[in-house]
Amino acid sequence: ERRYRASKMAGLEKIPAIVRTFTDEQMMEIALLENLQRENLSPIEEAKAYQSMVEHLHLTQDELSKKVGKSRSHLTNMLGLLRLPTEVQNLVNDEKLTMGHARALSKLEDKEQILKMAHEITENKLPVRAVEEKLTEDEFEKKVKIRRRENLDKANYKYVEDLLREKLDTKVRIKDKKIEIGFTSPADLNRILEIIQVKE
């Protein structure tokens, strides 16, 4: 479409083209891949393009990684941006927060804590390392080790929740002998299933 518009602006009467027949799914894939090739694509736009490919083309992160030529860790980090509040996403788009800052913030559970920390970063121009240390000091992010026992009482459930939350990078709750795992989108669910190695 961009080539067509450019040719029209240039006053060309004919445009060299190869006509091919594609299915709706193939057309969508081409459109999404072409969108990723745009110059000055913001991190959030890139993340949304990846999410669209996963959801509409029903891809796993491994399949997406091969299609776009990006590592799984890159895709995980990019998709993690979409779990951040819109205000924080805008700060990333405006280059007031780096990807390193965004990665650290995406591990937090509480929206208010994320916003508070994001404002502190921008106001004080905190480097990523300082942010990571700050999160640890304030116990926003807990890294715990548990001793496996046959019988876990309620007091120990919190340790298991924290362990799973860190492993899955999402909300986890244990209640009434059930484990509830939160996800924000089909793409996020696929990511979690891959981590716990659940295959169709």
69 backbone φψ class: left, alpha, beta (φ>0; ψ -120 to 50) = left
- The catalytic residue among 1, 137, 139, 150 is 1
| For helices 186-195 and 72-80, angle between their N-to-C axes, nearest 10 degrees | 130
The set of residues, in sequence order, having a beta carbon less than 8 Å from that of 167 and lying 6+ positions away, is 195
Is 109 designated active site?
no
For residues 172 and 181, is the Cβ–Cβ distance under 8 A? yes
Catalytic residues: 1
